[in-house]
Amino acid sequence: MVPRKKKGGLVRVGPNEVMCTDVEHLYRISSARSEYTKGEWYKIGQITPGKDTILTMQSKEQRRERKRKLMPGVSPH
Protein backbone atom coordinates (compact mmCIF):
# COMPACT_ATOMS: atom_id res chain seq x y z
CA MET A 1 0.00 0.00 0.00
CA VAL A 2 1.45 3.34 -1.07
CA PRO A 3 0.92 6.17 1.44
CA ARG A 4 -1.20 8.99 0.03
CA LYS A 5 -0.78 12.68 0.65
CA LYS A 6 -3.63 14.37 2.45
CA LYS A 7 -5.37 17.01 0.30
CA GLY A 8 -7.96 18.39 2.69
CA GLY A 9 -11.32 16.63 2.49
CA LEU A 10 -11.02 15.36 -1.10
CA VAL A 11 -10.03 11.84 -2.11
CA ARG A 12 -9.75 10.73 -5.75
CA VAL A 13 -11.50 7.37 -6.17
CA GLY A 14 -11.38 7.18 -9.95
CA PRO A 15 -10.19 9.10 -13.01
CA ASN A 16 -13.25 11.39 -12.93
CA GLU A 17 -14.51 10.84 -9.38
CA VAL A 18 -13.71 12.31 -5.99
CA MET A 19 -15.18 11.73 -2.54
CA CYS A 20 -15.53 14.69 -0.23
CA THR A 21 -15.78 15.07 3.55
CA ASP A 22 -15.06 18.79 3.86
CA VAL A 23 -18.09 21.09 4.20
CA GLU A 24 -16.44 23.97 2.33
CA HIS A 25 -15.70 21.71 -0.63
CA LEU A 26 -19.25 20.35 -0.54
CA TYR A 27 -20.69 23.87 -0.75
CA ARG A 28 -18.47 24.65 -3.74
CA ILE A 29 -19.21 21.33 -5.46
CA SER A 30 -22.99 21.62 -5.02
CA SER A 31 -23.30 25.34 -5.78
CA ALA A 32 -25.69 26.53 -8.47
CA ARG A 33 -23.07 27.11 -11.16
CA SER A 34 -20.70 24.30 -10.25
CA GLU A 35 -18.99 22.46 -13.09
CA TYR A 36 -19.05 19.21 -11.12
CA THR A 37 -21.52 16.52 -12.19
CA LYS A 38 -23.38 13.99 -10.06
CA GLY A 39 -22.36 10.36 -10.25
CA GLU A 40 -24.53 7.26 -10.60
CA TRP A 41 -24.48 6.65 -6.84
CA TYR A 42 -26.99 9.52 -6.37
CA LYS A 43 -29.62 7.10 -7.70
CA ILE A 44 -29.59 5.21 -4.36
CA GLY A 45 -31.29 8.28 -2.86
CA GLN A 46 -34.44 7.80 -4.92
CA ILE A 47 -37.48 7.38 -2.69
CA THR A 48 -39.46 5.72 -5.48
CA PRO A 49 -37.25 3.62 -7.78
CA GLY A 50 -36.98 5.23 -11.21
CA LYS A 51 -38.37 8.59 -10.03
CA ASP A 52 -35.87 11.39 -9.48
CA THR A 53 -36.16 14.15 -6.89
CA ILE A 54 -34.31 17.47 -7.08
CA LEU A 55 -31.53 15.81 -5.06
CA THR A 56 -31.13 12.72 -7.25
CA MET A 57 -31.39 14.33 -10.71
CA GLN A 58 -28.13 14.06 -12.63
CA SER A 59 -29.11 16.22 -15.61
CA LYS A 60 -28.29 19.89 -15.02
CA GLU A 61 -31.02 20.94 -17.45
CA GLN A 62 -33.70 18.89 -15.66
CA ARG A 63 -32.57 20.18 -12.26
CA ARG A 64 -32.59 23.78 -13.52
CA GLU A 65 -36.16 23.38 -14.83
CA ARG A 66 -37.38 21.70 -11.63
CA LYS A 67 -35.74 24.39 -9.46
CA ARG A 68 -37.33 27.12 -11.59
CA LYS A 69 -40.74 25.61 -10.83
CA LEU A 70 -40.02 25.14 -7.11
CA MET A 71 -38.49 28.54 -6.33
CA PRO A 72 -41.73 30.58 -6.17
CA GLY A 73 -42.92 28.30 -3.36
CA VAL A 74 -39.83 28.81 -1.20
CA SER A 75 -38.83 32.35 -2.14
CA PRO A 76 -39.34 35.02 0.55
CA HIS A 77 -40.55 37.55 -2.07
User: Domain for residue 31, yes or no?
Assistant: yes
The domain tally of the chain equals 2
Say if residue 46 is in the same domain as residue 67: yes
pTM flag (> 0.85): no
Domain residue limits at 16: 8-35
Q: What mean pLDDT value characterizes the chain?
A: 81
User: Domain for residue 3, yes or no?
Assistant: no
Say if residue 52 is in the same domain as residue 73: yes
- What pLDDT digit, counting tens, does each position of 39-61 carry? 888 888 899 988 988 888 888 88
Longest dimension (CA), the chain: 55
What per-residue confidence (pLDDT) applies to 7? 58
User: Domain for residue 72, yes or no?
Assistant: yes
User: Domain for residue 2, yes or no?
Assistant: no
Say if residue 28 is in the same domain as residue 47: no
Helix ranges (H only) for the chain are 23-29, 60-74
